[in-house]
Amino acid sequence: MKLIDSIVTQAAGIAAVRRDIHAHPELCFEEVRTADVVAAKLTEWGIPVHRGMGTTGVVGIVHGRDGGACGRAIGLRADMDALPMQEHNHFEHASKHAGKMHACGHDGHTAMLLAAAQHFAKHRNFDGTVYLIFQPAEEGGGGAREMIKDGLFKQFPMEAVFGMHNWPGLPTGSFAASAGPVMASSNDFVITIRGKGAHAALPHNGIDPVPVACQMVMGFQTIITRNKKPVDAGVISVTMIHTGEANNVVPEQAELRGTVRTFTYEVLDLIERRMKEIAEHTCAAYETTCEFQFNRNYPPTVNHPEETAFAREVLAEIVGPERVVPQEPTMGAEDFAYMLQERPGCYLFIANGDGSHRETGHGDGPCMLHNPSYDFNDDLIPLGATYWVRLAEKWLGQPRRAGGAA
């Protein structure tokens, strides 16, 4: 494994910053303290900072040997926000804020990019510019989208943009990267079925929305098994059914909520259309009425082939080709997808291990994402930072690619 010595030397200091961020988690668009920490470190290292993009976003601007005169540029992105959940860990750097936790490793993502920034500040072995994008509000807030709306790619033009997420379960020291869809679109729905209330002993006097809801849930699954091509991926999960207030009352209405995940818009269009048709026609068949609401949130995360091949090449030079494995697509969602719609790039996974890195005092649960016993593996900091540095140096050291934005 070919780690950069200066990054390894400084890793303990960056790990302390990571643990400080972990102890003070902030939810989407509330990352004021975290942004202050990031901006202060960048400023300390002599890196110019732009703040406020996407509300609490921070962009560090690192010009190379030529002061950025050549016009070449690459973007490296890390997310900063935490999750609204209670931490079960009790070690020293556990969350100090009830109901808030860094359970997805964004504290570690921030730390890895800070470690790269610290190296860049002293070793600018490239011509052009590296933009360090510290993004807020990945967890449901669409912070990437908001930074783009605020002019991220216009104010900081770049040829490509790259992201990275820690991935528990993969052996430490390995990476996963593949071209094409690697994370799904995220969508949610709310369906309100309106019937007519009655005494439960006299159901013929009312119109019961409960069996309608049950019929609708079963009907949705035929979209997956009979409407969608078997080789296409798609998930419809009805996760909430709210109805009724008493055991002897036929309720007036029932509400269904849930999520839909797909890797392509073609499948998403099909699922939304068929869900609406099934909902409306099922309600009509049982003499109820229907309100159908379908919200498209994050788009699919689709890695670009050339940029992914480039990233894999860089990774192979660091850890060896045997430790760069295919990236199994997941139905989880990621708002870095918005950036990949605007610029070519790659979003890959860095292995977080099996949880054996956790200190005494961790929770009893597994070290998995969005689990209250999770903690980021600090051993990843020098490895992730080395990847960021080598990626930027190699990208800016090659000839400009045809069609590259700058």
Q: Which domain range does residue 256 map to?
A: 185-296
Q: Is 386 left (phi over 0), alpha (psi -120 to 50) or beta?
A: alpha
Kindly tell me if the per-residue pLDDT of 341 is higher than 80: yes
- 240 and 228 in one domain? yes
Reduced to 3 states (helix: H, G, I; strand: E, B; else coil), residue 291 is strand
- Residue 403, in any domain of the structure: no
- Residue 162, in any domain of the structure: yes
Kindly tell me if the per-residue pLDDT of 174 is higher than 70: yes
- Residue 405, in any domain of the structure: no
Residue ending a domain, among 234, 262, 296, is 296
- 214 and 357 in one domain? no
Q: Is 320 left (phi over 0), alpha (psi -120 to 50) or beta?
A: left
- 271 and 201 in one domain? yes
C-beta neighbour count of 47 within 10 angstroms: 19
pLDDT in tens, 233-290: 999 999 999 999 999 999 999 999 999 999 999 999 999 999 999 999 999 999 999 9
- Residue 291, in any domain of the structure: yes
Taking residues 86-114, what's their average pLDDT? Answer: 98
- 323 and 263 in one domain? no
Q: What is the mean pLDDT of the chain?
A: 97
- Residue 154, in any domain of the structure: yes
Taking residues 85-89, what's their average pLDDT? Answer: 97
CB 116 within 8 A of CB 131: no
- 251 and 157 in one domain? no
- 124 and 18 in one domain? yes
- 225 and 255 in one domain? yes
- 139 and 51 in one domain? yes
CATH of the domain at 331: 3.40.630.10
SS3 content of the chain, % helix, strand, coil (to 5): 35, 25, 40
Taking residues 337-360, what's their average pLDDT? Answer: 94
Instruction: Count Cβ atoms within 10 A of the Cβ of residue 167 and give its class: 0-12 exposed, 13-18 middle, 19 or more buried.
Output: buried
pLDDT reported for residue 403: 54
DSSP result, 324-338: EE----BS---THHH
Taking residues 17-27, what's their average pLDDT? Answer: 98
CATH of the domain at 198: 3.30.70.360
Q: Which of 164, 114, 163, 165 is nearest to 382 (CA)?
A: 114
Residue ending a domain, among 239, 274, 296, is 296
Q: How far is CA 346 from CA 85, 231, 305, 308, in A?
A: 29, 24, 8, 5
- 315 and 170 in one domain? yes
- 304 and 273 in one domain? no
Please count the structural domains in the chain.
Answer: 2
- Residue 347, in any domain of the structure: yes
pLDDT reported for residue 354: 87
Tally the C-alpha atoms within 13 A of residue 135's C-alpha that lie toward its C-beta.
32
pLDDT in tens, 178-219: 999 999 999 999 999 999 999 999 999 999 999 999 999 999
- 226 and 283 in one domain? yes
Reduced to 3 states (helix: H, G, I; strand: E, B; else coil), residue 161 is strand
Q: Which of 334, 332, 296 is nearest to 144 (CA)?
A: 334
Share of the chain above pLDDT 90, in %: 95
Kindly tell me if the per-residue pLDDT of 176 is higher than 60: yes
- Residue 404, in any domain of the structure: no
Residue ending a domain, among 296, 317, 340, is 296
pLDDT reported for residue 404: 53
Please report which confidence band the pLDDT of residue 365 belongs to, taking 50, 70 and 90 as the band edges. Answer: confident
pLDDT in tens, 323-334: 999 999 999 999
- 153 and 256 in one domain? no
pLDDT reported for residue 406: 45
Reduced to 3 states (helix: H, G, I; strand: E, B; else coil), residue 155 is helix
- Residue 406, in any domain of the structure: no
Amino acid at 376: F
Phi, psi of 199 (to 5 degrees): -70, 135
Taking residues 32-52, what's their average pLDDT? Answer: 98
Q: Which of 29, 299, 64, 346 is nearest to 178 (CA)?
A: 346
